[in-house]
Amino acid sequence: MKASRKRLIQEQLDMTLERLACMRDVQRPAKGWLRAVREALGMSGKQFARRLGVSAPWVSTLEKKESTGSVTIKTMRQAAEALDCVFVYAVVPRKSLADIVRRRAEIVAEKKLGRVSHSMLLEAQQLSQTELRNAFEAEVETLIREMPKELWDNQDEL
């Protein structure tokens, strides 16, 4: 995929994800969303089971599975529908995608320039601090613009 297309996709997704940023700090209720909503609606487990078309004991199992994170997305959608709700599933980055890519580019550029700087030091051709900073910024911008696959090759921090 071309770098310009990657960048466009990133920008568009960032705009969409920005609307979900407020969800970053939302904590799931201790006993799960299904039980919390069901109880807030005043619906019994037996009534919920009837709406879902399952047995009452299965509702208890379902609510436990949700609280442990072992329920499927499909099941959550069905359960949400039975509660007249919409199941929302998203991966919400802690920072913008652009910020994540920039931080990753900085890590890669730092390693790359560290190797070059070391070689130049051995050859007594070390760059000044200003030249190093300019080279670093240029490398970061190149990595961001081109978004090479190698950007994510190592397991270094984000």
Question: pLDDT value at position 130?
Answer: 84
**Coil, helix or strand at residue 107:** helix
DSSP class of residue 29? P
> Which regions of the chain are under pLDDT 70?
115-127, 156-158
Question: pLDDT value at position 138?
Answer: 93
pTM for this model (two decimals): 0.74
| CB of 49 closer than 8 Å to CB of 59 | yes
Structure tokens at 61: 């199992």
Question: pLDDT value at position 124?
Answer: 47
Question: pLDDT value at position 144?
Answer: 93
Q: How far apart are CA 139 and CA 126, in angstroms?
A: 17
Which stretches of 19-152 are DSSP H helices? 33-40, 45-52, 56-68, 73-82, 97-122, 129-146
